């Protein structure tokens, strides 16, 4: 069932029973005239919708929800009606899941959750977007309609993907390749990798095995113990590793990836912050917010050294102080939210399940293989 609710400003909402959780538990798509959302990414089904332009949304309403919901929205008749789980709704949910994975996948060396190859995920997102073109129109307010951009950004992965298909003859690989070819043709793209793709689809040939095709993630040699700094340890602890405060891949997603130590040298006190680095090597620096008791946050710059982000600052602290530390990217950070440890654990479990799922993304197949 779905509730169709018409608000005073003309916005129409279609919603099911699920309550939304934190940002990283939701999947979202911006489509023609509306935003589709799945409140629980671990249980995708019929999406919720917030429709701000009903006339534009009519092109996909019936195909996503079925006749009952489409009629209720068209007549602006608030009602509880039966929503169907259509084929377009199913593919849209997979596209939203792919965008969720690009943003929130909890890659962690500490937790044993491998990162997803962005080039493979990007090409599959292009393929899925092509399948979902009924959701989009020509108005430039839909940031998830990125077929051309995704193919152009990740076209270097087309050749190794073709070699994988030649070697393994996996149906999901062929499906993505054919959809990428169709998508490129639909948006008028032409390049040497795309021409080679079209030729390979006509004549598959043979090639090498999967292990030689995609560069593995670099091995980590994680630092253990203290940094070698001097001074008496006053206190130490583990910070809340809030994924919302920095871009994906900057910091290892494990719950215990961010730690701090308070040291005393004579009358001086300082805080040292360490965060295990993620699989990316960003050019922009991170920082840490250090708050003592109810006092203001102290901003501590962090620098990347090998596999760690590290930083320190002189801050008055005692053994009895309440110390809160959080890692963030200045300018990206929405600010600290509620502690959502249970939700983060749920997402970690979900990622592990995805690596053994029956309907994996190509990037999940490669990640699970260890290659």
Confidence (pLDDT) at 209: 52
99: in domain? no
Residue range(s) defining the domain that contains residue 35: 2-86
Q: Are residues 246 and 323 in the same domain?
A: yes
Q: Are residues 55 and 140 in the same domain?
A: no
CB–CB of 30/142 below 8 Å? yes
For residue range 251-292, list pLDDT tens digits in order.
999 999 999 999 988 888 899 999 999 999 898 999 999 999
Task: Please determine, for residue 221, whether its predicted confidence score (pLDDT) is greater than 70.
Answer: no
Average pLDDT over residues 29-45: 95
100: in domain? no
For residue range 84-95, list pLDDT tens digits in order.
889 999 999 999
Q: Are residues 351 and 210 in the same domain?
A: yes
Q: Are residues 335 and 357 in the same domain?
A: no
Confidence (pLDDT) at 215: 57
User: Of the ranges 138-152, 201-215, 304-318, 353-367, which one carries the lowest mean pLDDT score?
Assistant: 201-215
pLDDT confidence of 125, banded at 50, 70, 90? very high
268: in domain? yes
pLDDT confidence of 182, banded at 50, 70, 90? very high
Confidence (pLDDT) at 224: 44
- Exposure string (b/e) for 191-209, b if CB count within 10 Å is 16 or more? eebbeebeebeeeeeebee
173: in domain? yes
Task: Please determine, for residue 226, whether its predicted confidence score (pLDDT) is greater than 70.
Answer: no
Q: Are residues 251 and 330 in the same domain?
A: yes
Q: Tell me, what CATH number does 300's domain have?
A: 2.60.40
| Mean of per-residue pLDDT scores for the chain | 90
Average pLDDT over residues 333-342: 88
Task: Please determine, for residue 371, whether its predicted confidence score (pLDDT) is greater than 70.
Answer: no
Q: Are residues 252 and 297 in the same domain?
A: yes
Task: Please determine, for residue 213, whether its predicted confidence score (pLDDT) is greater than 70.
Answer: no
Confidence (pLDDT) at 43: 93
- Number of folded domains in the chain? 3
Task: Please determine, for residue 62, whether its predicted confidence score (pLDDT) is greater than 70.
Answer: yes
Bridge partners, residue 28, by sequence: 37
Report d(CA 233, CA 97) in Å as an integer: 44
User: Of the ranges 40-54, 226-240, 302-316, which one carries the lowest mean pLDDT score?
Assistant: 226-240
How many helices (H) and strands (E) the chain has is answered by: 10, 14
Global confidence as pTM: 0.92
| Strands lying side by side in the sheet with 258-265 | 232-238, 258-265, 268-276, 308-314, 303-305
Q: Are residues 353 and 294 in the same domain?
A: no
27: in domain? yes
109: in domain? no
Share of the chain above pLDDT 70, in %: 92
Confidence (pLDDT) at 140: 86
Average pLDDT over residues 104-110: 97
Q: Are residues 238 and 323 in the same domain?
A: yes
Q: Are residues 364 and 272 in the same domain?
A: no
Confidence (pLDDT) at 287: 97
Average pLDDT over residues 176-196: 96
Confidence (pLDDT) at 1: 79
Q: Are residues 238 and 198 in the same domain?
A: no
Q: Are residues 176 and 208 in the same domain?
A: yes
104: in domain? no
Q: Are residues 168 and 191 in the same domain?
A: yes
301: in domain? yes
Sign of CA dihedral 178, 184, 185, 190: negative
Report d(CA 110, CA 159) in Å as an integer: 32
């Amino acid at each position: 069932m779905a509730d169709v609710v018409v608000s005073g400003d003309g916005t129409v909402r279609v919603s099911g029973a699920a309550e939304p959780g934190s940002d990283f538990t939701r999947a979202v798509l911006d489509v023609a005239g509306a935003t589709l959302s799945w409140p629980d990414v671990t249980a995708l089904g019929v999406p919720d919708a917030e429709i701000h332009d009903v006339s534009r949304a009519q092109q996909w309403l019936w195909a996503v929800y079925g006749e009952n919901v489409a009629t209720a929205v068209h007549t602006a008749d608030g009602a509880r009606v039966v929503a169907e789980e259509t084929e377009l709704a199913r593919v849209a949910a997979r596209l939203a899941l792919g965008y969720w994975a690009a943003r929130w996948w909890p890659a962690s060396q500490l937790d044993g959750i491998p990162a997803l190859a962005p080039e493979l995920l990007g090409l599959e997102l292009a393929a899925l977007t092509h399948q979902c073109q009924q959701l989009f129109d020509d108005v430039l307010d839909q940031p998830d309609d990125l077929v051309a951009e995704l193919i152009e950004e990740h076209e270097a992965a087309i050749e190794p993907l073709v070699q994988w298909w030649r070697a393994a003859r996996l149906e999901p690989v062929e499906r993505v390749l054919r959809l990428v070819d169709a998508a490129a043709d639909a948006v008028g793209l032409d390049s040497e990798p795309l021409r080679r793709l079209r030729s390979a689809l006509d004549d598959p040939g043979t090639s090498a095995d999967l292990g030689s095709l995609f560069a593995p993630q670099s091995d980590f040699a994680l630092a253990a113990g203290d940094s070698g700094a001097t001074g008496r340890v006053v206190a130490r602890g583990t910070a809340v590793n809030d994924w919302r405060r920095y871009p994906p891949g900057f910091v290892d997603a494990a719950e215990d990836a961010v730690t701090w130590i308070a040291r005393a040298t004579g009358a001086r006190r300082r805080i040292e912050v360490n965060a295990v680095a993620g699989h990316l090597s960003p050019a922009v620096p991170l920082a840490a917010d250090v708050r003592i008791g109810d006092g203001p946050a102290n901003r501590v710059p962090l620098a990347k050294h090998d596999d760690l982000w590290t930083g320190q600052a002189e801050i008055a602290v005692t053994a009895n102080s309440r110390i809160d530390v959080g890692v963030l990217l200045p300018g990206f950070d929405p600010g600290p939210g509620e502690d959502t440890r249970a939700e983060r654990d749920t997402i970690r479990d979900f990622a592990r399940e995805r690596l053994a799922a029956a309907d994996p993304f190509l990037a999940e197949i490669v990640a699970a293989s260890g290659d």
